[in-house]
């Protein structure tokens, strides 16, 4: 523990965002880090608890609190306070392959379990993490670690999202020859195309790709396994295959005309096209959709819905409304939701803040869903009818007499996913669960098909980036044990 009184002497100082009036003018990353001196103070606030719940990753009342990767948070905070940044980074990288991703997009489960947050403000673990990895790249700590000995075994990883990248990184450092197949032209999965550039600059992903390639990982992009390449070919060429294709089957709205109305899009499809346009504005993409001058309605209140809000504002929308089926959460913890449980409180994220600045009010409308789509003569969306809802015995019930009509030229559906797209899983002969995930034994990653493993959202279901990395690491350990008879890789 660097400074026993640090949590008493120093107040929490999180990284700032670029002011709303500036950041909505572009898609640049909007983080403004505190000074190095202040960062060391923030490290000093860590109490090095006897039982550090920040790194517990435990489930309480059905929700996880603390880091699923079990990052050694008190250790790296102590080293930050002392200015030993290289050692701090080494401790962080021991459990987390990609702090540059989690340090930007993770909702900081660690901070929700920080004991300083029981009565005050938690330690800035999330910002400290991003500082360490960025400082590491700047100061040259992040050098290629090329395995001294190769095992002679080869592994194909299908899907270059966070779980696939984590599995590939672990297996490569163990000495196996790893090839990652990705159907898109760039690696990253939802990191690349599902998360807007202002939240995760795509150069961060290409920087990591370059490092992994220098360490020996091969990437084959633009290759759709199960379509361009048969599963049988990969099974002949590689000693093991890891399926990490994500949970990309979007959930539809149960309203008439959903599939035919013009102006209705799934949120991830919209965000993918928006990001591709930001990265390559010179390319004329016929599928690109702009919200400029449109009245936008977003269905879904999670991170994807928030990212849609930030994106349509930057594109110049006329208005934006976000519909959420659930009741409005409380601002503070309630007595039945004590620390260190995950706080079931209202979160006003960057997109909501930008909408408040731009339009003068919070865009969210709670306990509301879409009842009807209203279209013009050519099938183009012109408005929607909404209705208030409540939940009775876990079933959503509409409240009669609460219908309202909203102008809407663009409807974005961010209602989650129903599982993986089946064709790759079926190509390898794996069995899907009723949730649309690839089945394995509980807490394991090996499928019923010999030499075929799975990880990430394809195995777990729709989840967080930090869980995807955890899954990739765990799957890599099982693959390594299968190939070598034992493993010295940590999960």
Strands 410-413 and 264-266: parallel
Contact 167, 473 (CB under 8 A): yes
In CATH terms, are 6-139 and 154-248+418-484 the same topology? no
CA nearest 272: which of 376, 351, 192, 348? 192
| Predicted model pTM | 0.96
Domain boundaries, the chain: 6-139, 154-248+418-484, 264-413
Contacts of 443 (CB under 8 A, 6+ apart): none
Predicted confidence at residue 298, as pLDDT, reads 98
CA distance 266 to 239: 37
Predicted confidence at residue 307, as pLDDT, reads 98
CA distance 95 to 473: 9
Domain 264-413: CATH superfamily, name plus number: FAD/NAD(P)-binding domain (3.50.50.60)
How far CA 432 is from CA of 189, 231, 427, 428, 460, in Å, comes to: 21, 17, 12, 11, 12
Query: Domain 154-248+418-484's class?
Result: alpha beta
Contact 293, 317 (CB under 8 A): yes
Tens of pLDDT, residue by residue, the chain (491 residues): 668 899 999 999 999 999 999 999 999 999 999 999 999 999 999 999 989 999 999 999 989 999 999 999 999 999 999 999 999 999 999 999 999 999 999 999 999 999 999 999 999 999 999 999 999 999 999 999 999 999 999 999 999 999 999 999 999 999 999 999 999 999 999 999 999 999 999 999 999 999 999 999 999 999 999 999 999 999 999 999 999 999 999 999 999 999 999 999 999 999 999 999 999 999 888 989 999 999 999 999 899 999 999 999 999 999 999 999 999 999 999 999 999 999 999 999 999 999 999 999 999 999 999 999 999 999 999 999 999 999 998 899 999 999 999 999 999 999 999 999 999 999 999 999 999 999 999 999 999 999 999 999 999 999 999 999 999 999 999 999 999 998 876 65
Return the SS3 of 280: coil
CA nearest 339: which of 48, 2, 53, 35? 53
Looking at the domain 6-139, which fold is it?
A: Fumarate Reductase Iron-sulfur Protein; Chain B, domain 2 (1.10.1060)
* CB-count exposure of residue 23 (10 Å: 0-12, 13-18, 19+): buried
Predicted confidence at residue 45, as pLDDT, reads 97
Predicted confidence at residue 1, as pLDDT, reads 67
Residue with tokens 């905070």: 77
CA distance 129 to 135: 10
């Amino acid at each position: 523990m660097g400074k026993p009184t640090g949590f008493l002497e120093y107040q929490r100082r999180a990284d700032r965002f670029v002011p709303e009036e500036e950041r909505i003018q572009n898609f640049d990353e909007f983080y403004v880090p505190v000074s190095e001196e202040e960062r060391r103070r923030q490290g000093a606030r860590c109490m090095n608890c006897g039982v550090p719940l920040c790194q517990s990753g435990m489930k309480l009342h059905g929700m996880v609190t603390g880091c699923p990767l079990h990052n050694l948070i008190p250790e790296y905070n102590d080293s930050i306070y002392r200015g030993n940044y290289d050692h701090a980074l080494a401790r962080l990288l021991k459990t987390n392959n990609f702090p540059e991703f989690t340090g930007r997009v993770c909702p900081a489960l660690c901070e929700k379990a920080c004991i300083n947050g029981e009565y005050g403000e938690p330690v800035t673990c999330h910002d400290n993490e991003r500082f360490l990895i960025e400082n590491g790249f700047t100061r040259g700590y992040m050098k290629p670690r090329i395995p001294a000995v190769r095992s002679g075994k080869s592994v194909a990883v299908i899907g270059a999202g966070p779980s696939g990248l984590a599995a590939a990184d672990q297996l490569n450092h163990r000495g196996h020859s790893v090839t990652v197949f990705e159907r898109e032209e760039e690696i990253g999965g939802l990191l690349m195309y599902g998360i807007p550039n202002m939240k995760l600059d795509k150069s961060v992903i290409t920087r990591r790709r370059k490092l992994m390639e220098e360490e020996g990982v091969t990437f084959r992009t633009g290759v759709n396994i199960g379509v361009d390449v048969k599963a049988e070919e990969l099974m002949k060429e590689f000693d093991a295959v890891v399926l990490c294709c994500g949970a990309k089957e979007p959930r539809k709205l149960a309203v008439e005309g959903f599939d035919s109305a013009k102006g209705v899009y799934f949120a991830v499809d919209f965000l993918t096209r928006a990001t591709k346009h930001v990265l390559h504005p010179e390319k004329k993409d016929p599928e690109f959709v702009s919200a400029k001058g449109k009245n936008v309605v977003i269905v879904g209140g999670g991170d994807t819905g928030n990212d849609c809000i930030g994106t349509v504002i930057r594109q110049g929308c006329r208005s934006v409304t976000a519909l959420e089926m659930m009741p409005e959460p409380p601002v503070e913890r309630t007595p039945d939701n004590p620390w260190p449980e995950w706080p079931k409180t209202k979160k006003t994220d960057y997109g909501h803040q930008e909408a408040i600045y731009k339009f003068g009010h919070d865009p969210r409308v709670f306990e509301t869903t879409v009842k009807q789509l209203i279209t013009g003569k050519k099938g183009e969306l012109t408005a929607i009818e909404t209705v208030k809802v409540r939940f009775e015995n876990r079933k959503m019930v509409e409240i009669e007499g609460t219908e309202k009509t909203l102008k809407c030229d663009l409807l974005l559906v961010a209602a989650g996913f129903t599982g993986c797209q089946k064709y790759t899983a079926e190509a390898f002969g794996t069995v899907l669960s009723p949730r649309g995930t690839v089945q394995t034994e509980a807490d394991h990653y090996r499928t019923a098909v010999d030499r075929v493993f799975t990880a990430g959202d394809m195995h777990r279901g729709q989840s967080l980036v930090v869980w995807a990395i955890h899954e990739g690491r765990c799957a890599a350990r099982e693959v390594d044990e299968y190939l070598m008879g034992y493993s010295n890789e940590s999960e």
